[in-house]
Amino acid sequence: MVTVLLNGEKRELGERTSVARLIEELGLRPEIVAVEVNRELVTRARRASTELCDGDQIELVTLVGGG
């Protein structure tokens, strides 16, 4: 297991979980989210190949109403 900080909260993930896999496991629609790991954008193209490591800080965002 690896422990990450996902949107500010601790969360346990399986070893070698990719960003794409995380999005799937959370039941999110991949086309309406964006992901940052340790303050670096993980682009759509790199989601499948980017594996999460112990201590990673993940920001998982979407678009909401705003002005």
Partner 1 sequence: MTTTPKPDPCADTPLVLGAHSFTSRLLVGTGKYASFEETRDALAISGTQCVTVAVRRVNLDRKTGPSLLDFIDRSKYVVLPNTAGCFDAASAIRTAELARDVLDTPLVKLEVLGDPRTLLPDPVGTLEATKELVKQGFDVLVYTSDDPRLGVRLAELGAKSVMPAGSPIGSGQGVLNPNAIRILLELVHVPVIVDAGVGTASDVAFAMELGAAGVLLNTGIASAKEPLRMAAAMRDACSAGRQAFLAGRIPRKLYANASSPVEGTIEGASPRG
Q: Are 58 and 5 in contact (CB under 8 A)?
A: yes
62 binds partner 1 (CB under 8 A): yes
| Per-residue binder mask for partner 1 (CB under 8 A), 32-61, x = binder | xxxxx--x-x-xx--------------xxx
Give me the amino acid identity at 5: L
Question: Could you give the CA distance from residue 55 to residue 67 in angstroms, rounded to a whole number?
Answer: 34
Nearer to partner 1, 1 or 8 (CB): 8
| Per-residue binder mask for partner 1 (CB under 8 A), 1-30, x = binder | -----xxxx----------------xxxx-
Q: 39 is written with which tokens?
A: 């303050």
